[in-house]
Chains A and B, each alone.
Chain A
Amino acid sequence: SQTIHQWPATLVQPVGSPLSLECTVEGTSNPNLYWYRQAAGRGLQLLFYSVGIGQISSEVPQNLSASRPQDRQFILSSKKLLLSDSGFYLCAWISGNTIYFGEGSWLTVV
């Protein structure tokens, strides 16, 4: 069966520090992958999606970037974090027309 994992689960980073969140999918090949952010008390915002290796689409301008170095690996990065980057980050993939989410990563920028 297919599974999705993301890490780290929780991190506290100072303003101006770099960020790297990693997501991997197992049990499938060439999945469509997504990064969402959920700010405190707010809904889900689509940040990036990828339909294949090296193919990244950005939904909103921001301080973040994404990369897909391997078929089942999706990385969310930042060179310098802002306070406004705090939130709950979710990686997801599509099976059929249904989206499935990872466990999420809590980021607090201090």
Chain B
Amino acid sequence: GNSVTQMEGPVTLSEEAFLTINCTYTATGYPSLFWYVQYPGEGLQLLLKATKADDKGSNKGFEATYRKETTSFHLEKGSVQVSDSAVYFCALTSTTSGTYKYIFGTGTRLKVLA
């Protein structure tokens, strides 16, 4: 079945460091791929998405490219800030009889130190 695997956390970085959070997927067909962010005590917010191969999603300085050949959707940011501290979830969609189902990774906690 479909699945998402993302790197274990926590990831601890200094402010202005480069961030990469790895995400790989297994899916039939052509899923859409997403990154969601969860700040402490809050629900999940959509960070960025890509709907087809080679698409690049970007938002708030974060980027991720849909790589079908490596089945990956790694999240990157050139210079992290303390305010980026959160849990990041990689996800994909699949459809069953026209109903969307989302499959999420286990989340990667990011802690940015001043």
5 tightest A-B contacts by CB?
A: A43-B106, A44-B104, A101-B43, A104-B43, A101-B44
Which residue from B42, B102, B107 sits with its C-beta under 8 Å from A99?
B102
Chain B interface (Cβ < 8 Å from any Cβ of A): 32, 34, 36, 42-46, 49, 51, 89, 91, 93, 99-102, 104-107
Smallest beta-carbon distance A45→chain B, Å: 9
A7 proximal to B (CB < 8 A): no
Give the B-binding residues of A (Cβ under 8 A).
32, 34, 42-44, 46, 49, 51, 57, 90, 94, 97-104
Taken together as a complex, chains A and B put the C-alpha atoms of A100 and B49 apart, in Å, by: 13
Determine the main DSSP class of B at the interface with A. strand
Interface of A (DSSP majority class): strand
With A101-B43, A101-B45 known, 6 other A-B pairs at CB within 8 A are A51-B99, A97-B51, A98-B34, A99-B100, A103-B42, A104-B42
Residues from chain A with Cβ under 8 Å of B49 in the complex? 98
How far is A34 from B93 in the complex, measured between Cα atoms in Å? 14
User: Contacting B43 at CB < 8 Å: which of A49, A90, A97?
Assistant: A90
Q: Name the residue among B32, B91, B99 with the largest chain A CB count within 10 angstroms.
A: B99
| Smallest CB separation, A81 vs chain B (Å) | 22
